[in-house]
Structure 1
């Protein structure tokens, strides 16, 4: 699915959680129409906080690469979203394209708050924003979070079908070249 169709679009994940890209993060009227009060900017290195006097921001400076460890931001983004919801707020999560970083944070949030498997959370977010595709390392971090939450992995790891190419990971996941498949 071409990301252009979803560029500038705010997609509702739940009644108080939304996802989008850098262009939708610039659509103040659209954000206000959804009663957004808080914004998680997962592209803080390349994307500014456009309306700092209108929304409460949480900025994460992380790139969409397999060198980044997004799991290091799971707890802080989760707490920010939870605190916003506790105050009756609505949260918009975005990155550059609204495909990888923001999707990863929304999926993590759903797994933690609803006790959903990664498979169920991924399918739910994809049904709301069909272009999502967390990069491999982010997906693997979600697999690890799922195991921590549920005690099991709901997905089969397969080296040929997620992106149709292998990614070599360094550090904690050094030597791994598999990818995740959702069927």
Structure 2
């Protein structure tokens, strides 16, 4: 490892890897976006509020800002990427989905139902806040509100325009 890498951890996750060269982090799985990708993506330090004073959607970068989450009253975090570290176990209650290949909607819904019952604010996050975590939030809205897929997707997209679910995920 070069001296520069030892002295300068990644600005996104804090781990030491060649993030400027697009190397995928072995610890949390993120990579720096290519220049063309950066231009089309709007980053915000704040997670998106999906349901007022309850459900927030964001990225690993959002989840790594404990003071910011505390100012929004978030006390629980649903981590949808098993490779992402739960950074502040003394400050937040974490629930991490265990399967990296598929999403456990029932497990996630149960955790979110408990959060809602306890009137706790919760952040649902994945690495970029564009695919895995929005899918979980959309599924939760469908179950808890009884909404159809199209309405749930539209609701989330209006509040977090950067979501980008995999092709074929939304079947009308």
TM-score, with structure 2 as normaliser: 0.72
Residues matched between the structures, number: 133
The reply to whether residue 83 of structure 1 matches residue 121 of structure 2 is: no
Match of 2:77 among 23, 39, 43: 39
2:63 corresponds to which residue? Answer: 25
User: Residues 10-44 of structure 1: CA distance to partner in whole angstroms, max 9, x if unpaired?
Assistant: 11000100001010001112211221111001112
- Runs of 4+ residues deviating >2 angstroms: 6-9
| C-alpha separation in 1, matches of 2:70 and 2:117 | 19
The RMSD of aligned alpha carbons is 1.7
| C-alpha separation in 2, matches of 1:21 and 1:2 | 16
User: Which structure 2 residues correspond to residues 1-183 of structure 1 after superposition, within 5 A?
Assistant: 2-3=40-41, 5-15=42-52, 16-45=54-83, 47-63=84-100, 68-70=101-103, 73-136=104-167, 139=169, 155=172
SS at match of 1:19: strand
TM-score, with structure 1 as normaliser: 0.68
| C-alpha separation in 1, matches of 2:131 and 2:125 | 9
TM-fit CA distance, 1:62: 4.4
Say if 1:12 and 1:18, in contact at 8 Å, map to a contact too: yes
TM-fit CA distance, 1:136: 3.6
| C-alpha separation in 1, matches of 2:40 and 2:50 | 20
| C-alpha separation in 2, matches of 1:75 and 1:54 | 25
| C-alpha separation in 2, matches of 1:87 and 1:127 | 26
SS at match of 1:124: helix
| C-alpha separation in 2, matches of 1:44 and 1:37 | 19
TM-fit CA distance, 1:9: 2.7
Say if 1:58 and 1:80, in contact at 8 Å, map to a contact too: yes
